[in-house]
Amino acid sequence: MVESKRRAWLFRAAQYLLGALTLAWVLGQVEWERTVSLFASISIETTVALVAVSGVGLLVALAMWHVLLDRIEDTRFRAAIDTGLIVLFVNHLLPSRLSGRAVAPFVVHHRTGMAYPGAVGVSGVHTGLYAILYGLVAFLGLVLSVGQLPLGLAIVLVLSTALYAAAGTAVLLAGINLSAVERIAGGIERIARRVPVVGDRLAALAQKLPEFSAASAATFRTLLRDPVAIVSYTAGFVVAQLIVPGLRVWLIFESLGVSLEPALFLPLYLVMAYSVTLLPLTPGGVGVTEATATAVFIALGVPSTAIVTAIFVDRLLGSYLPALVGWYPSLKMDLSKLVESPSQE
């Protein structure tokens, strides 16, 4: 008992240390002097509009979590906010957007109290739907830009777009068929028992797999057959990932006297250009995303000075600052529960 408390305390201390280090890392990704100078060069009206639009976009993005969670169990919007912000934060610590979504079930369970099978189901549906929608929109952007992009850049974007579509499809299909895990659970349990130190705990988890996977698959099916959940989630995606970023960049273009015709294609081009965030190149896609997006819009005829400013502000308001906000709720995660023995559960 004493040893368990000691391990829990050490994990908690390490958690706060890691939290401080990760906060410092995220803060270091923002060029604060450049940020101040850029906003100083933009009119007050435009700045207010940018902040207001970004606030709406963030709330809608977090509501996408609430839509799915609340269809399974009554969930406070605050819990959904914490879940979404923490996932955003983790997305900027590890390469590829799939990183944050891999820990989403633990975050959902901790912040909402939902059982792990349900948390896995909700997180999987969120990941799968997001990836499929993102891949579809990015593909439309590619179609609209055919013949305008350099071959090398087009190949990278085709790869990242295909990866989104494949990942989303794979997640949803795997989730629906999770009950197949029952056939291999016994073998997993026998192998797990041979692992030193943690073998008993791993075996105990393996014993729970059939019941766990069946419950998760049921959650997948419930959500995917729920038209309210699907339509609401898709509407949220359109607002958070298309309308809001498109408005942000359009406002900056207008303030700089730059235009892209037709303006309605702007959100599609942005999604296409940002699709490289799924490729495991840098944490959160930092640097690579901005460089790729800049190259895309220069190829589309936008002056380099204007697009560099627009992309920087859009990523700052739509990605980096929300991730920074997610640092605080991430400190509330009790990682010590991961080291409890099966008898303590």
**What residues does each domain of the chain span?**
2-28+50-344
Angle in degrees, CA 63, 68, 74, rounded to 5: 90
**Whole-number pLDDT of residue 290:** 78
The reported pLDDT for the residue numbered 34 is 61
Per the listing, tokens 């368990």 go with: 4
What's residue 195's pLDDT?
55
N-to-C CA span, the chain: 13
pLDDT score at 100? 54
Residue-level pLDDT at 130: 92
Low-confidence ranges of the chain (pLDDT < 50): 22, 26, 96, 198, 208-212, 280-281, 284, 335-345
pLDDT at 233: 97
Q: Whole-prediction pTM value?
A: 0.77
Tokens representing residue 247 in the block: 């408005």
